[in-house]
Amino acid sequence: MEAHNATDALPVVRRAEALATGVGIMADRDGEGRETLNEYRTRGGYPPLAEPSAIRAAVRAAEVRGAGGAGFPTAVKLDTVAAAPGPRVAVANGEEGEPASAKDRRLLRNRPHLVLDGLRHAAHAVGADTAFVYVSDAEAAASVRQALAELAEDGLGAGATDSAGPDPVGPAGLRLPAFAPTLVEVTPSYVAGEETAVVRALGGDVALPLPKPPRPYEQGVGGRPTLVSNVETLARVALAARGEPGASAGDTVLLTVVAGGDAWVCEAEATAAVAAAVERVRGSVDGVSAVLMGGFAGGIWRPDVLGAAASHDTLRAHGSLLGCGAVILVEDGDCPVAAAADAASFLAASSAGQCGACVRGTHVAAEQLIAIARGVGTAENLALLRRRTAALPGRGNCALPDALAMLLRTLDEHFAAELDAHLAGPCQVCAARVPEQPTTATRFRVRLPHATA
Amino acid sequence: MKVRIDAARCEGRGYCSRFAPALFETDDDGYPRILVTDDLDDEQLADARTAVSACPEQAISLHD
């Protein structure tokens, strides 16, 4: 049966939903289609730049956190790059490697100027003289390209500030450093958005993770201290820098909620339960038997995890991760073991193939789970799965083995009875939906149609 | 100083855990994990230097 990788069976983003409270990235502009430069400017976009230290202070006060997965405090990153010897580089990272995440693509397609304005503020805040926008989604790239063309036509973009000194005054009265980011398109892959892979790709090399240290903030593109920030993070930097009234830019997060063939991108309050966002878009949290949190990085949980607040700290304290904000609901009639086997299969097949520990370890682990799910596993497979799971963390140049370890460990902890049942007899859902071998064709890959962009 | 492994260079030969078992442990295939991720003390640093020179793939290095 090939249903597990049929494109027409993949979840589709049905709707994007802002918060009714009027705060956040999506609140002040949630129309369909791409926001133009003029539209963005009428909403306060591209304001005069404050002093770098003032921008960093505003980001610190707003408590903006990295929205690419790690949730690292953005102000700390800005301070570190700013303190490193120049010249420096700033990168907007829009390569959304998590298959179940669509929020970055949607943001780039829908509000490219908010991201570019955030990059402009961040570049100024760290004293970067070079900036990149790094994306893989073709429509997101087209949106950014058009936005850059609008800026150039307006006199604010490439070449417009060549003759001016530091912090020149642009034709429209905007104080601009030479802001001419280069758009770089990369072939999509799970690891291509990892920060050292980004740095490597921008340096003309392959988009594969490097060992740390050094981190990009110490030694990045061309050996220069480099700020690599997720595009949602930069959108929040733009909001924080212009002091959006009513709420701080770090008060909300973007989520991608996935349930069966449906998906939604929505903004959520970081102090409210994840369940509140799920109820807004899906109607209720009923009929859910398991939840994959943070895409494939935060493990698989009983539905009560939805009671945790949609914040990095709360979910981490819970033992999970907010990660990129993808929340996958495994509905009644589906099977948590099948869902975990699908994600494990994807992660193993997504290994970049450069670290032996990851190539071997993830494949052996995923193969044990696939055997158990498909009804041909024994207690030996389960024992090997457990041993491999314990050995996975910390053995690769990136966190892919750690993500798989979290998934397998939480499956064992929270769904032990289901695993035992699969050892005892075949599961129809798994027989139909779990691939025979690791494959990148996950059934949780969210499609973002043009109509919702 | 901290010790670092380039996992992409490592071939799982296991010299690191043999020469510095307090700093590295290996999985079923011989691929290592670093046991001490903080700054190393003098004794650990000496062991780490041995592992650095023993690794045939030059996958281990020391960093500030």
| Tens of pLDDT, residues A360-415 | 999 999 999 999 999 999 999 999 999 999 999 999 999 999 999 999 999 999 99
What fold, for B2-63? Alpha-Beta Plaits (3.30.70)
Task: For chain A, say whether B34 makes contact (Cβ under 8 Å).
Answer: yes
Number of domains into which chain A is organized: 2
Residue-wise pLDDT for B29-49, tens only, equals: 899 999 999 999 999 999 999
Q: Give the CA diameter of chain A.
A: 75
Q: What is the pLDDT of residue A3?
A: 46
Which of A57, A60, A56, A62 lies closest to A90, judged by CA? A56
Q: A91 with A226: CB under 8 angstroms?
A: yes
Are A292 and A241 members of one domain? no
Are A42 and A1 members of one domain? no
User: Tell me, what amino acid is at B59?
Assistant: A
Q: What is the pLDDT of residue A107?
A: 96
H/E stretch holding A401:
helix A400-414
Cα A234 to the center of its chain, rounded Å = 13
Q: Residue A453 falls within a domain, yes or no? A: no
Are A103 and A143 members of one domain? yes
H/E stretch holding A267:
strand A262-269
Task: Show which of A249, A272, A301 is a domain's final residue.
Answer: A249
**3-class DSSP assignment, residue B39:** coil
Q: Residue A24 falls within a domain, yes or no? A: no
Sign of CA dihedral A183, A12, A352, B62: positive
| Stretch A419-442: mean pLDDT | 96
| Stretch A443-450: mean pLDDT | 94
Strand pairing category for A182-185 and A128-135: parallel
Are A178 and A72 members of one domain? yes
Q: What is the pLDDT of residue A157?
A: 56
| Stretch A212-231: mean pLDDT | 95
- In this prediction, what percent of chain A has a pLDDT beyond 90? 82
Task: For chain A, say whether B35 makes contact (Cβ under 8 Å).
Answer: no
Are A217 and A91 members of one domain? yes
Rounded Cα gap, residues A180 and A197, in angstroms? 22
Task: Show which of A201, A234, A249 is a domain's final residue.
Answer: A249
Task: For chain A, say whether B52 makes contact (Cβ under 8 Å).
Answer: no
pLDDT band at A20 (very low <50, low <70, confident <90, very high): confident
Beta bridge partners of B60: B5
Closest residue in A to B2 (Cα–Cα) = A213
Chain B residues with CB under 8 Å of A356 CB are 7, 10-12, 29, 31
Mutate to test the interface with A, among B10, B57, B61, B62 (most CBs of A within 10 A): B10
Name residue, tokens 């069976």: A9
Is cis: bond before B56, omega within 30 of 0? no
Q: What is the pLDDT of residue A245?
A: 61
Q: Domain locations in chain B?
A: 2-63
Q: Which of B2, B4, B7 sits opposite A357 (nearest CB)?
A: B7
Beta-carbon separation of A395 and B63 below 8 A:
no
Residue-wise pLDDT for A155-210, tens only, equals: 765 433 333 333 443 334 344 445 789 999 999 999 999 999 999 999 999 999 99
Cα B40 to the center of its chain, rounded Å = 12
Residue-wise pLDDT for B2-11, tens only, equals: 999 999 999 9
Task: For chain A, say whether B33 makes contact (Cβ under 8 Å).
Answer: yes
pTM value is 0.92
Chain A residues with CB under 8 Å of B10 CB are 355-357
Q: Who wins on pLDDT, A31 or A337? A: A337
Structure tokens at A50: 């404050």
Which value does ipTM take for this structure?
Answer: 0.86
pLDDT of A6 over the 70 cut: no
Are A282 and A158 members of one domain? no
Cβ-Cβ contacts under 8 Å for A428 (sequence gap 6 or more): none
b/e for B28-55, b at 16 or more Cβ within 10 A?
ebbbbbbebeeebeeebbebbbbbbeeb
Q: Residue A387 falls within a domain, yes or no? A: yes
> φ, ψ for residue B62 (rounded to 5)?
-115, 140
Q: Residue A15 falls within a domain, yes or no? A: yes
Q: Residue A27 falls within a domain, yes or no? A: no
CATH for A40: 3.40.50.11540
Q: Which of B4, B33, B63 sits opposite A395 (nearest CB)?
A: B33
pLDDT of A246 over the 90 cut: no
Beta bridge partners of A309: A273
Q: What is the pLDDT of residue A150?
A: 93
Q: Which residues constitute the domain of residue A202?
A: 33-249
Q: What is the pLDDT of residue A27?
A: 76
Chain B residues with CB under 8 Å of A355 CB are 7-8, 10
Are A269 and A293 members of one domain? yes
Are A138 and A93 members of one domain? yes
Strand pairing category for A252-259 and A262-269: antiparallel
Q: Residue A374 falls within a domain, yes or no? A: yes
Q: What is the pLDDT of residue A398?
A: 94
Q: What is the pLDDT of residue A165?
A: 37
Chain A residues with CB under 8 Å of B27 CB are 357, 361, 388, 391, 395
Are A12 and A80 members of one domain? no
Closest residue in A to B59 (Cα–Cα) = A211
| Stretch B49-54: mean pLDDT | 96
Strand pairing category for B60-63 and B2-5: antiparallel
Q: Residue A199 falls within a domain, yes or no? A: yes
Beta-carbon separation of B28 and A394 below 8 A:
no
Residue-wise pLDDT for A84-126, tens only, equals: 998 999 999 999 999 999 999 999 999 999 999 999 999 999 9
> φ, ψ for residue B24 (rounded to 5)?
-135, 145
Task: Show which of A187, A218, A249 is a domain's final residue.
Answer: A249
Q: Residue A51 falls within a domain, yes or no? A: yes
